[in-house]
Amino acid sequence: MTELSDLYRSGGQSPWLDNLRRDWIRDGELARWVERGIRGVTSNPSIFQKAMTGQAVYDDQFRALVAEGRSIEDCYWEMVVTDITEALAVLRPVFDESDGLDGFVSVEVAPSLARDTDGTLAAARLLHERIHEPNLYVKIPGTAEGLPAIRGVIADGKSVNVTLLFSVSRYDEVIEAYLAGLEACDGPLQGVSSVASFFVSRVDSEVDRRLEAVGSPEALALKGKAAVANAQLAYQLFLDRFSGPRWDALVARGARVQRPLWASTSTKDPSYPDTLYVDTLIAPQTVNTMPESTLEAFEAHGTVARTADADLAGARAVLDELAGLGIDLDDVTRQLEDEGVAAFEKSYDELLSSLRDKAATFAEGA
């Protein structure tokens, strides 16, 4: 048994791979990750930018699509659909063996829709139509504008990965959208699934920057503590909201909890342990999606123990101390949401630009 398998069997947490590459799908590397204990895959516009601009494996399909007269954006989505569909097949045994708990592959709507409720809802529905597989998650940003779209897709009986969450208060709104969507769903709830992707390391990156600006010993002593404390309180909210009469009524209809998914869990500060955002956030009914470097680090020296709710008083104390130093976590998380939306949109635009350039080279070589 690998450490990744033990993380699931003993810790109750599902390790997922935060990367998707066509060469890995086709040369068996993705299947090997599954054998090592990976139970799902996440992707985003930045991941596809790296994959499509860095690998020739896409060229034959792209060239054929261009020759058909397809737009560059249509070409992009056709290649994405191909990758996601093939990855879903690799993960399908995990989905079946876990009775639909894991085995998901996530694909995100166009990042330009993050502030567009109707556009997001239409795009999410279209992706579920194009990729009609039970282990597909369509990723919808957890922006204020994304909340009604999340509710709508869940009410359709489809599965959603809510992404770009930074604050506990917004997470609370996302849980409400999920519950309301389940309540509005006329069909069976057993096949409706969701995760809420709570971003971790970026919180420390911004809070640490502000602590360094304060510069006092008390401030510097708090570096590297905000992100874990914030996520641990999110887990407590999860436990609170998925209990009680309202939730029990949905369970009676076959509903599943919307699991917290820890995202952005590679350490950005090299002075921090490389498994910091894994070791400290282990608990039942959670997911941690990691790049391969973090997965390998956890396999090498990670520790499996229930930690996400081991010291909630300590987590609250950290956030209280930050507030006492003038660090406004609400302002931090608003900034991070805006930056996250902008970063994914930038990756998407740069990818389309690079594909246009490549299409031009095809034309020149014709």
To the nearest 10 degrees (0 to 180), the angle between helices 168-184 and 329-365 is: 70
Query: What residue has token string 């917004």?
Result: 170
Which of the 8 DSSP states describes residue 110?
Answer: P
Contacts of 34 (CB under 8 A, 6+ apart): 90, 91, 93, 94
pTM of the model: 0.96
Q: For residues 113 and 115, give the distance between their C-alpha atoms in angstroms, rounded to a whole number.
A: 5
Kindly tell me the number of DSSP H helices and DSSP E strands found in the chain: 17, 8
- Distances, alpha carbon 312 to alpha carbons 231, 233, 237, 259, in Å: 10, 7, 11, 19
Q: Is residue 158 annotated as part of the catalytic site, yes or no? A: no
Give residue 365's pLDDT: 64
pLDDT, averaged across the chain = 96
Domain boundaries, the chain: 3-360
Task: Give the chain's length.
Answer: 366
Q: Which two tokens stand for residue 64?
A: 């054929």
CA angle 172, 212, 295 (to 5 degrees): 55
pLDDT in tens, 82-114: 999 999 999 999 999 999 999 999 999 999 999
pLDDT digits (tens, 9 = 90+) for 189-248: 999 999 999 999 999 999 999 999 999 999 999 999 999 999 999 999 999 999 999 999
> What pLDDT, on the 0 to 100 scale, is given for residue 366?
56
Give me the mean pLDDT over the 152-179 stretch.
98
pLDDT over 60 at 170, yes or no:
yes
- Give phi and psi for 160, each to the nearest 5: -135, 140
| CA–CA dist 109, 235 (Å, integer) | 26
Query: pLDDT: is 53 or 212 the higher one?
Result: 212
H/E segment holding residue 287? strand 286-290
- Output the CA–CA distances (angstroms, integers) from residue 148 to 78, 143, 155, 313, in the order listed: 27, 10, 10, 33
Which region among 41-45, 100-104, 247-251, 314-318 has the lowest average model confidence (pLDDT)?
Answer: 41-45
Tens-digit pLDDT profile for residues 259-285: 999 999 999 999 999 999 999 999 999
- Residue 129: the pLDDT is 98
pLDDT higher than threshold 80 for residue 6 = yes
DSSP, res 268 = S
β-strands 194-199, 259-263 pairing: parallel
pLDDT at 55 over 90: no
Q: pLDDT-derived band of residue 53, with 50, 70 and 90 as boundaries?
A: confident
Question: What is the model's pLDDT at position 2?
Answer: 81
What is the helix (H) or strand (E) element at residue 163, kind and residue range? strand 160-165
Is the C-alpha dihedral spanning 143, 147, 152, 157 positive or negative?
positive
Q: Output the CATH code of domain 3-360.
A: 3.20.20.70
pLDDT digits (tens, 9 = 90+) for 290-307: 999 999 999 999 999 999
Residues 185-222 as b/e (b if ≥16 CB within 10 A, e otherwise) read: beeebeebbbbbbbbbbbbbbbbbebbeeeeeeebeeb
Q: Answer yes or no: is pLDDT of 348 > 60.
A: yes
Both structure tokens of 356: 């246009």
Catalytic residue among 139, 158, 225, 358: 139
Type of residue numbered 275: T
Render pLDDT for 253-266 as a digit per residue (tens, 0 to 9). Answer: 999 999 999 999 99
Q: What is the pLDDT of residue 11?
A: 95
Phi, psi of 194 (to 5 degrees): -160, 150
User: What is the token pair recorded at 211?
Assistant: 């602590």
Q: State the helix-helix crossing angle for 146-155 and 168-184, rounded to 10 degrees.
A: 30
Q: How confident is the model at residue 45, as a pLDDT? A: 86
